[in-house]
Structure 1
Amino acid sequence: MSTNEFYLLSILAEEMNMRKAAERLFVSQPALSQRLQNIEKQWGTKLFLRTQKGLILTPSGELVIRFANNVLDQEEKVKEQIQTLESKVHGTLKIACASIVGQNWLPKVLKTFVNRYPHAKISLMTGWSSEILKSLYDDEVHIGILRGSADWKGHKLHLFEDTLYLVDKEIQHVEDVLKTDRPFIQFKSDSNYYQEIQDWWHRQFQTTPKRTIVVDQIETCKQMTFNGIGYAILPAITLNESAKDMYKIPLKGDHDQRLKRDTWLLGYESAFELKQVQAFVEVVNDFIANQPHIF
Structure 2
Amino acid sequence: MDDRDWTILKVLYEQRNITKTAQLLFISQPALTNRLQQMEKEFGVQIVQRKSRGIEFTPEGEYLAKCADEMLLKTNKIKDHVLNLRNKVSGTLRLGVSNYFTRNKLPGILELFKNQYPDVEFKVVTGWSRDVLNLIYNQHVHIGFVRGDYPWGDRKQLIFEETVCIASREEINMDDLPNLSRIDYQTDYWFKSLVNDWWIENFTHPPVIGMEVDKVETCREMVIRGLGYAIMPSLVLEGIPNINKINIRDKNGNPILRRTWMYYHEEALELNLVKAFVQFMEAVDLSEPL
Amino acid at match of 1:268: H
Q: How does 1:235-246 map to 2 (within 5 A)?
A: 235-241=233-239, 243-246=240-243
Instruction: Say if 1:259 and 1:29 are closer, same or farther in 2 by CA, change over 3 A.
Output: closer
Q: Is the 8 A contact 1:8 1:25 kept in 2?
A: no
**For 2:171, what is the secondary structure of its paired residue?**
coil
Shift of 1:52: 10
Q: Is the 8 A contact 1:169 1:247 kept in 2?
A: yes
Aligned partner of 2:159 in structure 1 is: 159
Aligned partner of 1:78 in structure 2 is: 78
1:225 aligns with 2:223: yes
Shift of 1:160: 0.8
Give me the whole-angstrom Cα distance separating, in 1, the residues matched to 2:56 and 2:32.
19
Aligned partner of 1:200 in structure 2 is: 198
Q: How does 1:1-295 map to 2 (within 5 A)?
A: 3-4=1-2, 7-8=4-5, 10-11=7-8, 14=11, 16=18, 33=34, 37=37, 39-48=39-48, 57-67=57-67, 70-177=70-177, 182-241=180-239, 243-254=240-251, 256-288=253-285, 291-292=286-287
Q: Is the 8 A contact 1:173 1:249 kept in 2?
A: no
**For 2:161, what is the secondary structure of its paired residue?**
strand
Shift of 1:84: 1.8
Give me the whole-angstrom Cα distance separating, in 2, the residues matched to 1:46 and 1:205.
61
Give me the whole-angstrom Cα distance separating, in 1, the residues matched to 2:208 and 2:27.
57
Shift of 1:103: 1.8
Instruction: Say if 1:49 and 1:169 are closer, same or farther in 2 by CA, change over 3 A.
Output: same
**For 1:162, what is the secondary structure of its paired residue?**
strand
Aligned partner of 2:15 in structure 1 is: none
Give me the whole-angstrom Cα distance separating, in 2, the residues matched to 1:67 and 1:205.
51
Deviations 1:109-134 (A, max 9, x none): 11212232232222222222322222
Give me the whole-angstrom Cα distance separating, in 2, the residues matched to 1:129 and 1:68.
24
Deviations 1:80-120 (A, max 9, x none): 01222223222322222222222222222112122322322
What CA RMSD, in Å, does the superposition of the two structures yield over aligned residues? Answer: 3.4
**For 1:192, what is the secondary structure of its paired residue?**
helix
Give me the whole-angstrom Cα distance separating, in 1, the residues matched to 2:250 and 2:47.
60
Instruction: Say if 1:98 and 1:14 are closer, same or farther in 2 by CA, change over 3 A.
Output: closer
Give me the whole-angstrom Cα distance separating, in 2, the residues matched to 1:138 and 1:269.
14
Q: Is the 8 A contact 2:10 2:68 kept in 1?
A: no
Give me the whole-angstrom Cα distance separating, in 2, the residues matched to 1:160 and 1:252.
18
Instruction: Say if 1:83 and 1:259 are closer, same or farther in 2 by CA, change over 3 A.
Output: same
Q: Is the 8 A contact 1:168 1:225 kept in 2?
A: yes
Q: Is the 8 A contact 1:98 1:147 kept in 2?
A: yes
Percent of aligned pairs with the same residue? 30
Shift of 1:233: 1.0
Structure whose CA Rg is larger: 1
Shift of 1:172: 4.1
Q: Normalized against structure 1, the TM-score is what?
A: 0.79
Amino acid at match of 1:171: E
Q: Normalized against structure 2, the TM-score is what?
A: 0.80
List alignment gaps of at least 5 residues for structure 2: 13-17
**For 2:189, what is the secondary structure of its paired residue?**
coil
Q: Is the 8 A contact 2:249 2:255 kept in 1?
A: yes
Amino acid at match of 1:223: E
Instruction: Say if 1:30 and 1:271 are closer, same or farther in 2 by CA, change over 3 A.
Output: closer
Deviations 1:220-261 (A, max 9, x none): 3223222322100111111122x2132122223345432221
Instruction: Say if 1:225 and 1:43 are closer, same or farther in 2 by CA, change over 3 A.
Output: same
Aligned residues: 283
Amino acid at match of 1:251: I
**For 2:165, what is the secondary structure of its paired residue?**
strand
**For 1:249, what is the secondary structure of its paired residue?**
strand
**For 1:186, what is the secondary structure of its paired residue?**
strand
